[in-house]
Amino acid sequence: MTVIERLRPDHAPALLAFERENRAYFAASVPDRGDDFFSGFDARHTELLAEQEAGMHHFHVLTDGKGAVLGRVNLVDVENGSAELGYRIAQRAAGRGLATSAVRDVCALAADDYGLTELKARTTLDNHGSLAVLARTGFVEAGTLTLMDRPGLRFVRSLVDAGH
């Protein structure tokens, strides 16, 4: 059974393991976090928790119910009722519908617990998994962009009267 949890200090070891195990997998579709991310992980984790406490972001981990991290779903740059959605699922857990389920859960949290009215997202045109997740979770295309020197799309999802 998977569980969405708001990021806490005690998630740090499992989250770092998740990021290390999936670094190459993630780098194939999103910019690599770089070596500094890993060497300074503990300080950055503490910083992100402080930003979350200040209401700037809402970070979540998807766990296997036993403490292992299977994914992340984050809402960043919270401002004026809106935030940017980002997510990543471990390679070993991909293709099982976990991203779709986790994004739906976080959309409900965004509306019900965080008072957000709109979410934005973006992905490259060749990230078929992400495009499918966004379509299945109610996001609609809102324009084009370039990500990592590749063509991409912007998406938006209203949380007002959406039934989440």
Give per-residue pLDDT as tens, 38-51: 899 999 999 999 99
62 forms beta bridges with 4, 71
CA 47 – CA 13 distance, rounded (Å): 15
* For range 125-152, the mean pLDDT: 93
Write down the pLDDT at residue 33.
84
**Helices (DSSP H) in 92-139: which residue ranges?**
98-112, 128-136
pLDDT digits (tens, 9 = 90+) for 78-98: 999 999 999 999 999 999 999
* For range 115-119, the mean pLDDT: 98
Per cent of the chain over pLDDT 70 is 98
Q: What angle do CA 34, 92, 98 make, to 5 degrees?
A: 100
CA 1 – CA 60 distance, rounded (Å): 16
Assign a CATH topology to domain 3-158.
Answer: Aminopeptidase (3.40.630)
20 forms beta bridges with none
Which residues have CB under 8 Å from 95's CB, separation 6+?
129
Could you tell me the residue ranges of all domains in the chain?
A: 3-158
